[in-house]
């Protein structure tokens, strides 16, 4: 199409490329044997998946681009959140869509399963791109027939996957962005020091109160103390950068110490105006992880239902694979475990007035209290 300017006209059918789009459903069963009614559903469901994958990739790439600009312009953080919200909504659809696929029964599937060999969902490069864009490292992927996973793909797709990772996945950009948080150590306020004191104070005070309680049995007191924890149990790594870095080396943590402290700060002081959106962003990451996990899990259920213990057309047990990866492939696990470090609002170290002012902004004008009408 040449550039005709915006006053050229277009028809719905052409705008959406419907001639091509609706021509891509080719039933193998029809080509190679007896047409199987249900193969249409199988094809269309997977095509819809791939269209949504393309949408997710479109959003993730744009989000990463925004992070990669000189700095993440504050104007953009709203867009980042809006686009991640959209990614979540799409992922939820992908999960719901499994219920449509499950209207095909295992016996129906057998009517055309043999024609699919050796095609397999493992060969969806777009799904791998999503994993890479989010931050799943190649070495965490399970191997496929004892080969590096990406070997499934033709070379140009392998390169695309590698480039995504080299360019920095979302995880890395968020890590870097968090490290730039300026409020953690200001004149007169050392967040992590204050937090440490608060944790110790809280634990001591509560321990005394528990021991003194006249309502708890000895066994209950013990459980109650366990629930409270000690500085060593839950808080050890956040209170010592050294310890944290050790865990990173062991592959147990991934987020840098500085970024972790910033994430904790945002979680604890999220009621401060300018932390609202950063907090929402961190929540998006946890949501997306949970949705990816749920999708793998529901998908595994569906494969189990369709094939039982049989081997999939791709040559391995899809059910088992998906079940194994559901938990292991969490990308933002470090953000999930921030919850462990939270302490009640009532125990939070007070912020100095100057910092509090820095964390606020004013949308409306101050005014006398009165009835709205």
Q: Are 133 and 169 in contact (CB under 8 A)?
A: yes
Q: In this structure, how many other beta carbons lie within 10 angstroms of the beta carbon of residue 1?
A: 6
Residue 275 and residue 280: Cα distance in Å, rounded? 9
Which of the stretches 4-12, 136-144, 190-198, 240-248 binds a second copy when contact is defined by CB under 8 A?
A: 4-12
CB of 13 to a second copy, least distance (A): 6
Closest C-alpha among 318, 328, 253 to residue 289:
328
Residue 96 and residue 89: Cα distance in Å, rounded? 11
Residues in the chain: 373
Interface positions, 203-262, toward a second copy (CB under 8 A): 209-210, 213, 215-216, 220, 223-224, 226-227, 229, 234
CB of 66 to a second copy, least distance (A): 11
Which of the stretches 2-10, 136-144, 192-200, 241-249 binds a second copy when contact is defined by CB under 8 A?
A: 2-10
Q: Are 238 and 341 in contact (CB under 8 A)?
A: yes
Looking at residue 186, what DSSP letter applies?
A: E
Interface positions, 127-166, toward a second copy (CB under 8 A): none
Which of the stretches 136-144, 189-197, 243-251, 263-271 binds a second copy when contact is defined by CB under 8 A?
A: 263-271
Q: Binding residue for a second copy (CB under 8 A) from 60, 86, 141, 320? A: 86
Looking at residue 311, what DSSP letter applies?
A: P
CB of 125 to a second copy, least distance (A): 7
Q: Does 310 contact a second copy by CB under 8 A?
A: yes
CB of 202 to a second copy, least distance (A): 11
How is 207-230 classified by DSSP, letter by letter?
HHHHHH-SSS-HHHHHHHHHHH--
- Give the nearer residue to a second copy in terms of CB position, either 193 or 205: 205
Q: Binding residue for a second copy (CB under 8 A) from 51, 142, 208, 354? A: 51
Q: Does 277 contact a second copy by CB under 8 A?
A: yes
Token output for 133: 């864009």
CB of 284 to a second copy, least distance (A): 13
Look at the alpha carbons of 328, 332, 333, 336 in this order and tell me if their dihedral is positive or negative. negative
Q: Pattern 312-341, binding to a second copy, x per CB under 8 A? A: xx-x-------x---x--------xxxxxx
Q: Does 66 contact a second copy by CB under 8 A?
A: no
Rg (CA), the chain: 26
């Amino acid at each position: 199409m040449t550039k005709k300017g915006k006053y050229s006209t277009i028809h719905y059918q052409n705008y959406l490329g419907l001639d091509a789009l609706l021509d891509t459903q080719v039933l193998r069963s029809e080509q190679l044997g007896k047409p199987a009614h249900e193969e249409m559903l199988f094809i269309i469901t997977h095509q819809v998946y791939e269209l949504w994958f393309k949408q997710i990739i479109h959003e993730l790439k744009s989000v990463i681009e925004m992070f990669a600009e000189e700095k993440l312009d504050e104007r953009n953080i709203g867009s980042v959140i809006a686009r991640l919200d959209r990614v979540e909504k799409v992922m939820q659809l992908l999960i719901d869509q499994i219920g449509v696929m499950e209207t095909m029964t295992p016996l129906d599937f057998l009517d055309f399963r043999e024609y699919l060999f050796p095609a397999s969902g493992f060969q969806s490069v777009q799904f791998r791109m999503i994993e890479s864009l989010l931050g799943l490292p190649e070495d965490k992927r399970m191997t496929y027939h004892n080969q590096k996973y990406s070997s499934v793909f033709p070379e140009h797709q392998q390169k695309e996957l590698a480039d995504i990772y080299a360019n920095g996945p979302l995880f890395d950009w968020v890590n870097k962005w968090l490290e730039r948080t300026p409020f953690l150590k200001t004149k007169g306020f050392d967040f992590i020091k204050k937090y440490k004191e608060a944790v110790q104070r809280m634990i001591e005070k509560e321990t005394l109160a528990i021991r003194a309680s006249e309502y708890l049995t000895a066994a209950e007191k013990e459980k109650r103390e366990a629930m409270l924890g000690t500085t060593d149990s839950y808080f050890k790594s956040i209170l010592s950068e050294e310890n944290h870095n050790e865990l990173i080396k062991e592959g147990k943590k991934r987020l840098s110490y500085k970024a972790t402290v910033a994430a904790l700060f945002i979680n604890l002081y999220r009621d401060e105006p300018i932390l609202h959106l950063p907090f929402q962003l961190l929540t998006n990451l946890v949501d997306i992880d949970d949705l990816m996990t749920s999708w793998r899990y529901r998908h595994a259920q569906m494969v189990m239902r369709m094939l039982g213990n049989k081997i999939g057309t791709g040559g391995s047990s899809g059910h088992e694979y998906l079940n194994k990866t559901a938990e292991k492939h969490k990308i933002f696990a470090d953000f999930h475990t921030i919850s462990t470090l939270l302490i009640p609002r009532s125990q939070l170290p007070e912020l100095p007035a100057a910092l509090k002012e820095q964390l606020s902004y004013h949308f409306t004008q101050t005014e006398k209290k009165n009835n709205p009408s």
